[in-house]
Amino acid sequence: MKQPLLEVKNLQTSFRTEEGLVRAVDGVSFSLRQGEVLGLAGESGCGKSVTAYSISRLLPMPPGQFDGGEILYKGRDILGLKEEEMRRIRGREIAVVFQEPMSALNPVASVSAQIEEALAIHTSLGKAERKERVVHLLARVGIPDPAQRALCYPHELSGGMRQRVMIAMAVSCDPSLLIADEPTTALDVTIQAQILKLIQDMKNETGSAMLLITHDLAVIAETADRAAIMYAGKLVETAAVKNLFAEPAHPYTRGLLNSIPVLGSPGRKLKSIPGRVPNLIDLPGGCAFANRCELAGSRCRNEMPRMVNKDEGHQVRCHLHDGGVK
Ligand SMILES: Nc1ncnc2c1ncn2[C@@H]1O[C@H](COP(=O)(O)OP(=O)(O)OP(=O)(O)O)[C@@H](O)[C@H]1O
Ligand SMILES: [Mg+2]
């Protein structure tokens, strides 16, 4: 079998704070093949963005730190790379689209200048070719009057247009891996669907793999090949999207699925999961979800469940699937 494009092995990322060590990512492992889309979902604060920042090495250090694990990109551990080597990979090989484009764009440079800079760093295109390519890219992401808009500064554009610029910049050098962290949540609902469609189109055109982070399981159902569900810094279930939706194995995944609206039944009352996510500074010894789980037994409170294979390609971290909860 071909080597995976990205292999994250037992990644541990934490933050040193005055209150204590925040274990934001606590032993996360997954792999991504060329052209594959992995959807990563879970409640706010579970460690999705920290996972994305770790892979792209954009984690603020300090307070952030890597405590262990490996991130193999095309077989090379990128955690060991010097910042200079990482800069060559970031943008060219691994590109990131974040939730709030305003914070990722340079406010004092025109759109054209910013995309041209990426092209100048990562490609051998000459100046005239770069300018041409920028206009082509802006047209490609659905920006009207691209030659004119290229001269705009970020604040002169709407949120949806800024996100289109971010996507144009991200795909400008044909990355092998696109990381999209909540790329649509800051946008109006009508614009969200357009941007999501654009991301899918760009992904299909370039054949890049994608790590798509979202709160919205419906987005994952529509876009991803596989899904990973995260809770309190750990993955609790991974499966092909169709298996995850047909046979969710973890009580947390089932809870999340119960809390999405069902098309065609607008009156259906959604069940949210009662209780709260535990404090990542002081995690319980057993399963982090036990205090919110209707099915939890004494074993859940005392012993951390292992990730076990439920079926081919379907893994779950729950005692229910590994000898019982008592
Ligand atoms: N700079 C930081 N200093 C201290 N703690 C941090 C820092 N950045 C993130 N954290 C903590 O790490 C944990 C994971 O945060 P992360 O941003 O990855 O969550 P998330 O899953 O992306 O949530 P959301 O869905 O709200 O974006 C949280 O408890 C957060 O408070
Ligand atoms: Mg986040």
Q: Specify the length of the chain in residues.
A: 326
Q: Residue 47 C-alpha to ligand 1 middle, in angstroms?
A: 6
pLDDT at 187 (0 to 100): 79
Q: Residue 61 C-alpha to ligand 2 middle, in angstroms?
A: 17
Long-range contacts of 82-86 (CB under 8 A, 24+ apart): 83/57, 86/57
- Minimum mean pLDDT range among 144-148, 172-176, 188-192, 300-304: 188-192
d(CA 266, CA 68): 45
53 alpha carbon, closest ligand: 1
pLDDT at 263 (0 to 100): 53
Does the beta carbon of 22 lie inside 6 Å of ligand 1? yes
Neighbouring residues of 54: CB distance < 8 A, sequence distance ≥ 6 = 11, 13, 25, 66, 71
d(CA 265, CA 284): 38
Q: pLDDT per residue over 63-102, tens digit each?
A: 999 999 999 999 999 999 999 999 889 888 999 998 876 7
Atom of ligand 1 nearest to the CA of 42: 21
d(CA 89, CA 78): 9
pLDDT at 127 (0 to 100): 94
Would you say 7 and 31 are in contact if contact means Cβ atoms under 8 Å apart?
A: yes
Mean pLDDT of 13-34: 96
Q: Residue 44 C-alpha to ligand 1 middle, in angstroms?
A: 8
Q: Residue 301 C-alpha to ligand 2 middle, in angstroms?
A: 27
Paired strand residues for 17:
20
Q: How many CB atoms lie within 10 A of CB 25?
A: 28
15 alpha carbon, closest ligand: 1
C-alpha pair distances (Å), 72 with each of 11, 38, 125, 302: 11, 16, 29, 33
pLDDT at 183 (0 to 100): 87
Strand 234-240 to strand 226-231: parallel, antiparallel, or no bridges (unpaired)? antiparallel
Paired strand residues for 144:
none
Would you say 127 and 134 are in contact if contact means Cβ atoms under 8 Å apart?
A: no
Paired strand residues for 239:
227
Flag whether pLDDT at 248 surpasses 70: yes
Would you say 103 and 167 are in contact if contact means Cβ atoms under 8 Å apart?
A: no
Per-chain mean pLDDT for the chain: 91
Atom of ligand 1 nearest to the CA of 215: 25
Mean pLDDT of 2-6: 89
Q: Which amino acid is at 284?
A: P
